Structure 1
Amino acid sequence: MSSDPWGRVDETGTVYVRTADGEREVGSWQAGSPDEALAYFKRKYEGLVVEIGLLERRVRTTDLSAKDAQTAIEHLRASVVDAHAVGDLEALARRLDALSAEVEARREERKVAKAKAADEARKAKEDLVAEAEQLSVSEQWRSAGERLRALVDTWKSLPRLDRKTDDELWHRFSHARSVFSKRRKAHFASLDAQREEARKVKERLVAEAEEISGSTDWGATAARYRELMADWKAAGRAQREAEEELWNRFRGAQDVFFAARSEAFAERDSEQRENLTRKEELAAEAEKLLPVTDLKAARAAFRSVNERWEAIGHVPRDARPRIEARMHAVERAIQEAEEAEWRRTNPEARARAEGLTGQLQAAVDKLRGQIEAARAAGNTAKADKLAKELEGRQALLDQALKGLQEFGG
């Protein structure tokens, strides 16, 4: 007979394991000594220890599911309960109980984590849907389209929710993308129509620009080109290839016209500078007539100068006021000499001037007599009043005498 803290072998070769509930027969041994029997059944126990250790490591280091872990634990538990082995079987059972509790705790952790992940995924998808619905009304076609494609990739990277919630959110997300796509398609279809209309308008503008490029009506044609340019800008853009080709033709037609105008203006400017030189010479000749001493001769000479002036033609615009002012000054001087001569030789005007002068002189003489009489009578107030009236009449008389002098006496 042989014994051990956890088991024994009786004289018949029967092997027992000691448990909290007492001894339990685990086998018999007839092939050797009792010690060999115990050693054999202890090795059976060690095998269970190894299996439990492997399961513990697997649970703690791999992604073994809680269900599979509990199945494996229950399988080992049954093996321990019915084990034909010698050793501390209660310790193995406690290890399995602890491992089972650990698995359940991890199951709860995973459940919480899964619920949290699902909640985060739902929130993330709701945010994607909200952004997609905002983008569905955007007119930033390129950036919004790119963003919507990025949102699809983000959606695919998120875990699925429960079918009902996931389907509802996907339907809103897909609808927002569809709304944007339809609006963008309609926009570009409208844009294509506008560009086609712009092409037709610009073809007409180009045709007219080319037609008038040979015109020599410089002012009116230049104004028309400005109008055509305004119409060109208002027409909008045509398709890229057509826009470039039409613009080159439009600009080319303008270049032809304005180059011809510049050449013509250069010739005109040269001619007008020559005209200015000639008119400056005539202005100097006219200015030599001043002051007017012989009205008849001055009038004839100025007429000759003016006839030659009119025959010369235009001068540069910026010089025109200055050169014309010189001739006008001579002309006004001659006119003033004519008016003075007329007044001097007009008998009716002379008679009227003499009559007015006589009347004013008589009035002045009368006032002086009245002033002297008032002072002699000691009426100073009346004398002062008459003196003020005399000042006014004397001023009129002086002016009349000056006018009479223009008649030569």
Structure 2
Amino acid sequence: MTTDPWGRVDDDGTVYVRTAEGERAVGSWQAGEPEEALAYFRRKYDVLVTEVDLLDQRIRATDLAPGQAEAAIAKLREAVAEAHAVGDLDALTARLGSLSEFVAKRREEVRAQREQARSEARSVKERIVAEAERIAESATHWKTGGERLRQLVEEWRAAERVDRTTEAALWKRLSAARTAFAKRRKAYFAGLDTQREESRSRKEQIVAEAEALADSTDWGGTASAYRELMRQWKAAGRASREAEDELWGRFKAAQDRFFQARSAVFAERDAELRHNEEAKEQILAEAERILPVTDARAARNALRAIHERWEAVGPVPRDSRDRLEGGLRRVDEAVRKAEEAEWKRSNPEARARAEATVAQLRTSITQLEARLEKARAAGKAKDVRDTEEALTARRSWLEEAERTLAEFS
């Protein structure tokens, strides 16, 4: 009798496999040595091992549905139980049991994922319905609102389905919102014709006033009147497209006629002012040569004469007025600052105060130095420390006071 750990061949050629439940005959072998019989039935076992390996890999590495996986496991479990093979069949059965547990766990995960997906889908559809209802109640941009409602319907169709009852209730609300929006839009456009007719009538009055002003030569007052008419035009609302285009063309033509005439007059006036601009350019260049100021009194006298000539020249074009006036103001400011500095240097009272401050600080420092020598000689550490701090402060003040005094020299 020939044996191996998992089976044996009896003297009569019967081949047995060992399992936890005992031995079981799996076949007979009459044509050859017993070792050949065991090798043959072990190969059959290897085939089963391969099938279990492949199923294990397929279940763990793919998204095979739990139902299909269980069916495949049951079929292979039956094959192992009835297998005509020699090997550790109990181990294969145990592996299949582990796979069943894995599939059961996956089934729970899939169920949980499905519930999560349904919950998320419900949230998505509730959000879609809520937005649709907001649009139905308050939207006034009809084109944008209608387009957004169409997008919401597409989002609804793309979302996962929820349970039938919830799906039907939410769809009913979405349909009602679309209907309410359509009714509001229809009512709006029904009333729009009346409003457009009122706008057309008001704008005809505005155009008539604009055309009456087109040839005015009261440039300032008429320009203000046109601005007021433009404000009224914007406040009057829109007429129909055809009426709006025709009326706007008339309004703009009247306005353009006035402003073109005004521009022509102003251009002629500006041409007369260009000569003044050139003259002031030369005067400004002369004023800038005063800088930097070295003699404040001479600079002020020169600038006074420049101011008289500047005023005598007269106005310049508006586009250069700020630049020229600003340039002369900068020169004037520089001269003023030079005069203030000169006055400060020559102020006898301020100089006397600066000299008195320096003298007082020097006396104080001399006294503190004497006090410091006494404190050191007496070994009074606290007095030494306090006196040194006072000396440091007085010397710092003296430096500042001496700099101030130097400014008067």
> CA–CA distance in 1 between the matches of 2:261 and 2:104?
97
Distance 1:258 1:64 in 2: 81
What is the CA deviation profile of residues 159-214 of structure 1, one whole-angstrom value per residue up to 9, with x for unaligned ones? 10112211211221222133223323432443344224433554576568768979
> Which residue does the alignment assign to 1:198?
199
| CA distance, structure 2, for counterparts of residue 86 and residue 100 of structure 1 | 24
CA distance in 1, matches of 2:21, 2:258: 121
Report the Cα offset of residue 59 of structure 1.
Answer: 0.9
Deviations 1:289-345 (A, max 9, x none): xxxxxxxxxxxxxxxxxxxxxxxxxxxxxxxxxxxxxxxxxxxxxxxxxxxxxxxxx
Please say which of residues 224-233 and 195-204 is displaced more in the overlay: 224-233
Contact 1:26 1:85 (C-alpha < 8 Å) held by counterparts: yes
Aligned match of 2:94: 94
The answer to which of 13-22 and 241-250 deviates more is: 241-250
Amino acid at match of 2:20: A
Residue identity matched to 1:58: R
Give me the whole-angstrom Cα distance separating, in 2, the residues matched to 1:258 and 1:88.
106
Q: Residue in 1 aligned with 2:61?
A: 61
SS state of the match for residue 69, structure 2? helix
Looking at CA atoms only, which structure, 1 or 2, has the larger radius of gyration? 1
Structure 2: 5+ residue stretches without partners = 265-409
Separation in structure 1 between the aligned mates of residue 131 and residue 260 of structure 2, nearest angstrom:
57
SS in structure 1 at match of 2:64: coil
Aligned partners of 1:66 and 1:104 also within 8 Å: yes
* 2:158 counterpart residue number: 157
Show CA shifts across 1:35-93 (max 9, x none).
Answer: 11111111111111111111111111111111111111110011011000001111111
Q: Deviations over 1:212-249 (max 9, x none)?
A: 97999xxxx99x99998787556421234532331221
2:360 is matched with none
Aligned to 1:137, the other structure's residue is in SS state helix
| Matches of 1:172 and 1:63, distance apart in 2 | 37
Letter in 2 for 1:117: A
SS in structure 2 at match of 1:159: coil
User: Equivalences for 1:29-48 in 2 at 5 Å?
Assistant: 29-48=29-48
CA distance in 2: counterparts of 1:262 and 1:115, whole angstroms = 76
Q: Is it true that 1:83 corresponds to 2:83 in the alignment? A: yes
Q: Which residue does 2:249 correspond to in 1?
A: 248
Question: Residue 170 of structure 1 aligns with which residue?
Answer: 171
8 Å CA contact 1:138–1:144 kept in 2: the answer is no
In structure 2, how many angstroms separate the alpha carbons of the residues matched to 1:53 and 1:255?
90
The residue number in structure 2 matching 1:180 is 181
Equivalences for residues 79-158 of structure 1 within 5 A? 79-141=79-141, 144-158=145-159
The 5 Å alignment of 1:4-19 reads 4-19=4-19
Q: Distance in 2 between matches of 1:256 and 1:75?
A: 97
Identity %: 60
User: TM-score, normalized by length of structure 1?
Assistant: 0.55
CA distance change for structure 1 residues 4 and 121 in 2, over 3 Å: closer, same or farther? same
State the match for 1:283 in structure 2.
none
SS at match of 1:67: helix
Query: Matches of 2:131 and 2:80 in 1, distance apart?
Result: 59
Determine helix, strand or coil for the equivalent of 1:11. coil
Question: Contact 1:133–1:176 (CA<8 Å) still a contact in 2?
Answer: yes
Q: What is the correspondence of 1:10-409 to structure 2 with a 5 Å cutoff? A: 10-141=10-141, 144-199=145-200, 202-203=203-204, 206=207, 235-253=236-254
Once the two structures are TM-superposed, the CA of residue 255 in structure 1 deviates from its matched residue by 6.3
Q: Which amino acid aligns with 1:198?
A: S
**What is the SS of the residue equivalent to 1:83?**
coil
CA distance in 2, matches of 1:262, 1:29: 121
8 A Cα contact 1:14 1:28, kept in partner: yes
Alpha-carbon separation, structure 2, partners of 1:122 and 1:234: 46
Partners of 2:7 and 2:199 in 1: how far apart? 104
Distance 1:32 1:242, change over 3 A: farther
CA distance in 2, matches of 1:226, 1:239: 23
How big is the alpha-carbon RMSD for the aligned residues of Structure 1 and Structure 2? 3.8
Q: Distance in 2 between matches of 1:100 and 1:93?
A: 10
Residue 314 of structure 1 corresponds to none
CA distance in 2, matches of 1:84, 1:48: 10
Q: What is the distance in 2 between the residues matched to 1:55 and 1:117?
A: 28
Report the Cα distance in structure 1 between the residues aligned to 2:70 and 2:232, rounded to whole angstroms: 84
State the distance in 1 between where 2:36 and 2:88 align: 19
Deviation at 1:253, TM superposition (A): 4.4
Query: Which residue identity does 1:89 align to in structure 2?
Result: L
Please identify runs of 4+ aligned residues in structure 1 that moved more than 6 A.
Answer: 211-216, 224-231, 254-263
Q: Could you tell me how far apart the structure 2 residues matched to 1:96 and 1:246 are?
A: 87
Cα shift at 1:23: 1.3
Question: Counterpart amino acid of 1:65?
Answer: A
Q: TM-score scaled by structure 2? A: 0.55
Alpha-carbon distance in structure 2 between the residues aligned to 1:19 and 1:26: 12
Secondary structure of residue in 1 paired with 2:138: coil
State the number of aligned residues. 262
CA distance in 2, matches of 1:233, 1:165: 49
Structure 1 CA distance, aligned partners of 2:105 and 2:260?
92
Q: Comparing 87-96 with 108-117, which one deviates more in the overlay?
A: 108-117
